[in-house]
Structure formats: structure tokens, C-alpha cells
Structure 1
Amino acid sequence: MRAMIYRLCCQCYRRLLAAANTVTTNDAVIGGGVGGKSLLLVEHGLRHHHHHQRSSSSSSSNQLSVLFYGSDDFSLPTLRLLADNYQLAAAVDDDDGGDGGSGQQQQQRQVIRQLDVVLSSPKNIIARYAHDRQLTCHEFPYDLPPTDGVYDIGVVASFGHLIPGRAIRSCRLGMLNIHGSLLPRWRGAAPVNYAVLNGDQRTGVTIMRIAPKRFDIGDIVAQAGYPVPPRITARQLKAELAPIGAQLLWECLLDIDNKLLNSRPQSSSGITYAPKFDDSYGLIDWSTMTATEVDRRFRAFIDFIDIYSHWTDGSRLRLYDLVDPELVATFDLKRLSGYDDTGRPGPGCIYYHKKRRLLCVSSAQNTWSAFGSVAVKGHKRMSAHQFNNGFIKRLETSVPIMLRSDMSSSSSSL
């Protein structure tokens, strides 16, 4: 009798004890005295136990030990979701008061039984969050035990380093990467930036299996598309894609065996690359970039690197507060600036729009870009109005003033 009760899960055993206080005398008589009462209680407990097992069949079989790799804001929603389940699922069971629990509690079954975090830096946002949640942390490269299958699965989100083969082998089911594009488009370290830079109207998130020694070529486990909002910056788009990736990863973990079984190779067509970018990507070449292309480059990189040109003395001129080029096209700048029909004085010519207080710069194909503020090297950021008073007017020249795409010094140019 005690052995039968002991095999019940803790939740069902608590229910059995509660039922013992509610069984009536008639129940005992119908069951045949004390022994019948005991049998009735056991049957009551087993019925609930079998129902509980059916309603959460994967709760016991699919509880996972997870090794997480992340480094930035894109990684955080995924780590938060994993940590919430890892640390709070037990509280859900303890709070289960009704028969079978609420629907919300049933959905919050524990999936993560172990969660370790690998850090690319001890001071980034993932490190701070993991320490606040008192998660077990390891600094990259984490010296894993030599035994294969130490963890059930690895999860990687915007980590920035090639994961060693030994780490992949340490995960029984391999590793999943949350990638910010619809692979095979934009393989590489900066998929969201390149989607904005190239004017993609649709992007998304891919959950893919990590292949040793290669970036972003593994089989696709799941994908979710997402329309790119007009004039969104790359940082804003990453913030919108991050929770989508976290939820998509979670859905994969809930049905991990089936998801892995049905993963598919990436297409051999439509492959594009999004390599790491550096400071040079922020330089505006007025002679080759139209206003639309300047706008895309600005939104792709403004929160990551300087967007800049060069002032007449060759010093760097950082550009801020870019105006929508469709609005700028309505300013009639060709007439206001004296731009003639031959396109002279040419791309890079500046014009200060007094009424709108904007610094306007001619771009390729007779288009114009406009900025609300700038910063000259060695000076604080200033409004276009302040720049006009402090720099443009001081040149005291009757010829057009040109911004440079190189660092050579020139006060003006025809």
C-alpha cells in the first residue's frame, strides 16, 4: 500500500492526502471498511496521476539541460524565457490548487531542468542578467568535460564566436542557433544590418542546427517571416526580431525530437552574406550614393558606428538626425541652392535650409540628403543651425562648399 502511494508524483500525492480528509463514511462502507477506504483513495490518486501524466507526457521525458551562448540585447529575450521556465516552473506546481490546475499553469510545465550560460564577456548585458538570476556561468571558451552529451542541447543567440566542435559534441541533441534572417539570405554576423542596408521589405528569424567549423550553413529547424517596417533602424529591427526568435526557439524545445527530425537543408539558391562591418562602412560617398542609399546606410549602422563625411579641412564630420528622403525631395533644393541643369556643382555640395534649419547635402543622381545635427571632430554635437553659424558662415566664400568623401583638405570646389 505505501509502495503504491510512494510511486505517485509529489503533486498527485498531495492530492491523495487532501482526498483522505474528504472521503465519507458511506465511501468506506461501500469500499468494504477501512481496507475499502484505502483502496478507494489509491484508485483516486492513481486516476489523477495517470491524467497528470497524460496531460504533461513530455514534462518528464523532454526536460532538458541547456547550455546557452549569448552576448547582447538580441540574446536577452531568449535567456529570459529559458530562465523563467527553469526557475519558476516548480512554483507553478506548488501553486496548483484546482483539480488538474489552470490552463495557464498546465502550459507552464517545466521544460528546462538545467541552464548554464557561456559568456563572451564578464561585463555585457547577458553576464549581468545571468548573475542577477543566479545562473551558473562560464567564460568563453568554456573548458567542457571530455564526455560527449554533458548537456541535452545548446542554444546560441548572437554570440559572435565560432562554437568549438567539442562544445557541440557536448550537447546530446546538438546546438540550435537563433539567426536574425530567413536563411540562406544574409549568412554572417550582421544579418539585420544588411537587411536594412539593402532595403529588404521582408526578413525574419531562422532556428538552425549549428554545423562544426562553419557559420550559418546548418539545417533549418524553423523559420518565421517578418515584414520590415518603413524607415526602421537596424537596432530597432533587432529589438523587434529578438522576442520572435525567443518564442520560435521555445516552440522548438517543446517538440524538440519532432522538430529535429523534420529539419531541412538550406537552399543552394538565394545565398547572400552579411560579414562583420567596421568603421569604413559609415563613410558616405556622395558621388555614388543616392539619397535613398544614404538613408539605408544611415539606418543600418547609426547605432553601431559613426555615419560621417569630411569637412573642408579634412576633419571628420559626423552626421545625425537624417530626414526622410521622400520629404527632402519636396524641398525644391535644386532651385534654392542654385543647382543648374548640368548637375553642377555636383554631389557633396551643402546648402543650409534656414526655414527648416537643416544641413542639406547633394547626393548622386540629383538627390538630396538632409541632417538636423552634426559633430565636427574636436567639437560637441551641434544643431544644423549652430553648424551654419559656427562653420559655414566663417568660410566667407562665394563658391559652393563641398563635403569630402576622403580626408583631403579643400575649402571649396567647382
Structure 2
Amino acid sequence: MLRLSCGVTFAPRLRSAFLQRRCSSSEITRKASDPLRILFCGSDAFSCESLRALHREHETNRGLVESLDVMVLPPRRTGRGFKEIKEVPCKSAAEHLGLRIHQRETFRNWSMPEGTNLIVVVSFGLFVPPRILKSAKYGGLNVHPSLLPHLRGPAPIHHAMMRGEEYTGVSLQTLDPKSFDHGTVLAQTPPPGLPIPANATLQHLTEDLAKVGAEMLVQALRDGLHVPPYRDSGWMAEQLHGKNLVHAPKVGKGESQINWLEWMPLDFERFVNIFGTIWTHVRNDKGKFKRVLFLDAESVSADEVAGREGEVVFRVEAGTEGEDVPRTLRVDEERDEVHVQTAHGGWVRVRSVKVDGKTTQKARVGLREFLRR
């Protein structure tokens, strides 16, 4: 596994460095292309960056991008009781750009706009069937935020961070008619990849990879990489030859559960940076377990730990089974914070928590009912 590197917070100069790294598409020879009539399929904020880049190219270089239509998924119900209807961000972006939008939940019984000769898919969620791919002269392209074939799947950025990897990157691939993320890699971030700072948040890393992917996509179109015959420019596949590939499936609430048996202080920090909050079950003074969210967690040295000492029993759940894990906790009334012992004797500082059924509280108040003195 790639190891986590030390780094600094994402700053403008680092974002600039991301964009200055050119994709690997060795010894490019520009190939002639018809003017492109693109169907863009996207959903989230990551895909919006590629859509905006294509639109800028359409505005300034119609000889390359002649037209641009957008396909998005229908709104979905979210929130408590699923009462809120939420549109995908890509629809708002397309509306702002004045583009024609096709909102559908399936390709079944649907034909592409007449003349479409390239499909571009970025973080879309639907598989493009062979019937649709074959109807476009240049098939389809996909921007994927990992160094393929490493971390195929819908959540590569999450998994790269969860695994504590040192580097990540972006791959531009053709759309495979049979499987997700099995196309020819036309361009890829050069080795060793782009560094993941130790304190990067999911949002910042996603924003930066989105910019890298958007630039890679447009440059590939300018260079005619979408025109067959394709040339495989991926380098990671050779490095992973003979090894078991790591998949990046969708993440759920279970991934943000605190693993008291294994997590060390930096794991707490990293998972807060990924998910915003982390959660656990804690036994109260009546012997019942309650779900508690940690809204922050910061690694501290043993010298910084102070306050009244007690013990808290946490629970690590896996499927239908669980294991109780007692941990030392120190309540620092003076600094209004709580220090919690982690695996292997480390410590984290927690300032805010949310106990099920209650509003956000100071950690020293919210964890009081769980403290065994």
C-alpha cells in the first residue's frame, strides 16, 4: 500500500502545482478529428469542473467542440424522512451555462441528440450501454480520479484517503462496452502521481483533482486522443502487474465508524477530514449504548493531556457482532476539552460531540453521562 506523506494544507500554490503537472500521454502525435458534438453525462461537483472546461472550449474553439448537450439524473429525495428533493449539481451548472439538458434515470428507450459523435462521462453513476456507445463515432471518454487500474469504482478519492495513500492522480480512459473503468487509458498523471497532504480534506482534494481532470480532458481532445487507434498511456498498470487490485466501492456510514481497536491519532484526524464527522457507540451510566458523533478530533502528545481521569466503554460494531473497548478519558475543564486514548496509547483532543437525540454539545458536557470514575 502507498504510504501517507507529510504535507501542508491545500494552498493556492499547491493547487497551481496540481495544474502544472501535465498528463502522461507519451509522445503525442495530434490526430485530426471532426468537430465534436458532445453528450456530457455528469452529476456531482467533480463532474461540473469538466463540464465548465468543455463549455469554455466550446465558446473559444468551435472547430473542436461544436456543440454540448448534458445528461443528468433526476432529483432524489434526501434528508430526514426523505422530504427534501435535491437536484444534482451538474444540472445547476448546465442551466447556468445555458446548455440543453436531458434528465433521465436510464438510457432505455432513448436516443442521443442527432449528430452526437462523442460521449463524455464524469462521475455519472449510470453505465453507458453498447447501443449508445456504438452510435457515437468516437465512442466515449471518462475522467476518473485515480491512477487506474488502481481504485476502480465509484469512490476512489475516499478510498485513497482512507487507505492513507501518499499519492493519487487522474486517468482519462475510453468507455468500455462491458465494464466500468476497464477502458484504454489515454492519459494519466505522471509518476509518482500527485501528493496527498496529510491534512487534506475530501472537499479540497476533490476540487483539485477535478481541475486536473478537466484540464486533462480538454488537452486530450485538442491532441485528438479520442480518435482511434487508441494508445495505452497508463503507467500504473505495469507497476501493479501480478498484484491484487484494490477496488473503490461506494462508501456508507459504516466507513466513518471509529475503530477503537486499530485507529491511532492520525487516523482520527484523517477520517474527520474525509467524512466531516466520525461516530461510535458509547455505554452510559445505565448500561445502554448511545450513538455519539465526534465533530472534531486532533492528535495531541501525552504531554498535552490533562484533566480529571475516568474510563469510557466504546463499542466497535461489525455486522451483527460488536466488541466493547474501554478507553481512558481525561476531562480538561480549564481548556474546555476532552482527551481520549486511542489504540497503542495515543491521544486525541475532542471539543464537540453530538449524542443521539441531543443538540451539539461541548465534549466535556456531552460525554459526562458515559464517564466511569
Q: Distance in 1 between matches of 2:325 and 2:200?
A: 29
Are 1:281 and 2:260 matched, yes or no?
no
Structure with greater helix percent? 1
How many equivalent residue pairs? 306
Aligned residue among 362, 365, 369 for 1:389? 365
Tell me if the contact between 2:307 and 2:330 (Cα under 8 Å) persists in the aligned partners: no
Look at both structures and tell me which one has the larger radius of gyration over its CA atoms. Answer: 1
Describe the shift of the 1:61–1:204 C-alpha distance in structure 2 as closer, same or farther (beyond 3 A).
closer
Are 1:291 and 2:265 matched, yes or no?
yes
Describe the shift of the 1:347–1:208 C-alpha distance in structure 2 as closer, same or farther (beyond 3 A).
farther
Q: Distance in 2 between matches of 1:269 and 1:296?
A: 30
Tell me if the contact between 1:71 and 1:119 (Cα under 8 Å) persists in the aligned partners: yes
What is the CA-CA distance between 1:157 and the residue it aligns to?
1.0
What is the CA-CA distance between 1:319 and the residue it aligns to?
0.9
1:263 is paired with a residue whose SS is coil
What pairs with 1:303-382 in structure 2 (closer than 5 Å)? 306-311=277-282, 312=284, 313-323=288-298, 325=299, 328-333=300-305, 337=309, 347-382=326-361
Describe the shift of the 1:335–1:299 C-alpha distance in structure 2 as closer, same or farther (beyond 3 A).
same
Q: Distance in 2 between matches of 1:139 and 1:335?
A: 57
Tell me if the contact between 1:206 and 1:245 (Cα under 8 Å) persists in the aligned partners: yes
Read off the aligned partner of 1:358 and give its amino acid letter. Answer: E
2:169 is paired with a residue whose SS is strand
Gap regions ≥5 residues in structure 1 = 1-57, 90-107, 340-344, 401-414
What is the CA-CA distance between 1:262 and the residue it aligns to?
1.9
Describe the shift of the 1:363–1:65 C-alpha distance in structure 2 as closer, same or farther (beyond 3 A).
same
1:352 is paired with a residue whose SS is strand
Describe the shift of the 1:249–1:257 C-alpha distance in structure 2 as closer, same or farther (beyond 3 A).
closer
Aligned to 2:18: none
Q: Distance in 2 between matches of 1:162 and 1:360?
A: 47
Aligned residue among 125, 129, 134 for 2:93? 129
Read off the aligned partner of 1:286 and give its amino acid letter. Answer: W
Aligned to 1:113: 66
Structural RMSD (CA): 2.9
Describe the shift of the 1:189–1:201 C-alpha distance in structure 2 as closer, same or farther (beyond 3 A).
same
Read off the aligned partner of 1:369 and give its amino acid letter. Answer: V
What is the CA-CA distance between 1:358 and the residue it aligns to?
2.3
Tell me if the contact between 2:341 and 2:348 (Cα under 8 Å) persists in the aligned partners: yes
Q: Distance in 2 between matches of 1:190 and 1:331?
A: 38
What pairs with 1:74-93 in structure 2 (closer than 5 Å)? 74-86=46-58, 88-89=59-60
Tell me if the contact between 1:82 and 1:112 (Cα under 8 Å) persists in the aligned partners: yes
Aligned to 2:224: 256
Q: Distance in 1 between matches of 2:195 and 2:227?
A: 25
Describe the shift of the 1:316–1:254 C-alpha distance in structure 2 as closer, same or farther (beyond 3 A).
same
What is the CA-CA distance between 1:134 and the residue it aligns to?
2.2
Once the two structures are overlaid, the 10-residue window that deviates more, 136-145 or 166-175, is 136-145
Aligned to 1:163: 128
Tell me if the contact between 1:194 and 1:300 (Cα under 8 Å) persists in the aligned partners: no
State the TM-score, normalized to the length of structure 2. Answer: 0.74
Structure number with the bigger relative contact order (C-alpha 8 A, sep ≥ 6) is 2
Structure with greater strand percent? 2
What is the CA-CA distance between 1:151 and the residue it aligns to?
2.1
Q: Distance in 2 between matches of 1:206 and 1:121?
A: 27
What pairs with 1:64-213 in structure 2 (closer than 5 Å)? 64-86=36-58, 88-89=59-60, 108=61, 110-122=63-75, 123-140=87-104, 141-142=106-107, 143-145=109-111, 150-213=115-178
State the TM-score, normalized to the length of structure 1. Answer: 0.67
Tell me if the contact between 1:319 and 1:373 (Cα under 8 Å) persists in the aligned partners: yes
Q: Distance in 2 between matches of 1:258 and 1:151?
A: 14
Q: Distance in 2 between matches of 1:383 and 1:172?
A: 60
Describe the shift of the 1:258–1:161 C-alpha distance in structure 2 as closer, same or farther (beyond 3 A).
closer
Q: Distance in 2 between matches of 1:390 and 1:219?
A: 52
2:289 is paired with a residue whose SS is coil
Read off the aligned partner of 1:136 and give its amino acid letter. Answer: R
Describe the shift of the 1:201–1:347 C-alpha distance in structure 2 as closer, same or farther (beyond 3 A).
farther
Describe the shift of the 1:74–1:146 C-alpha distance in structure 2 as closer, same or farther (beyond 3 A).
closer
Tell me if the contact between 2:186 and 2:233 (Cα under 8 Å) persists in the aligned partners: yes
Q: Distance in 1 between matches of 2:242 and 2:38?
A: 33
Identity across matched positions, percent? 29
Read off the aligned partner of 1:262 and give its amino acid letter. Answer: R
What is the CA-CA distance between 1:382 and the residue it aligns to?
2.2
Gap regions ≥5 residues in structure 2 = 1-29, 76-86, 312-323
1:251-309 CA deviation, whole Å, 9 max, x = no partner? 1010124775322574444521111111111111212322233333332322xxx5201
2:46 is paired with a residue whose SS is coil
Q: Distance in 1 between matches of 2:187 and 2:201?
A: 25
1:15-74 CA deviation, whole Å, 9 max, x = no partner? xxxxxxxxxxxxxxxxxxxxxxxxxxxxxxxxxxxxxxxxxxx99954211111110110
Describe the shift of the 1:319–1:259 C-alpha distance in structure 2 as closer, same or farther (beyond 3 A).
farther
1:229-257 CA deviation, whole Å, 9 max, x = no partner? 22112222111110110000001010124
Describe the shift of the 1:109–1:116 C-alpha distance in structure 2 as closer, same or farther (beyond 3 A).
closer
Describe the shift of the 1:390–1:75 C-alpha distance in structure 2 as closer, same or farther (beyond 3 A).
closer
Q: Distance in 2 between matches of 1:171 and 1:263?
A: 21
Describe the shift of the 1:334–1:346 C-alpha distance in structure 2 as closer, same or farther (beyond 3 A).
farther
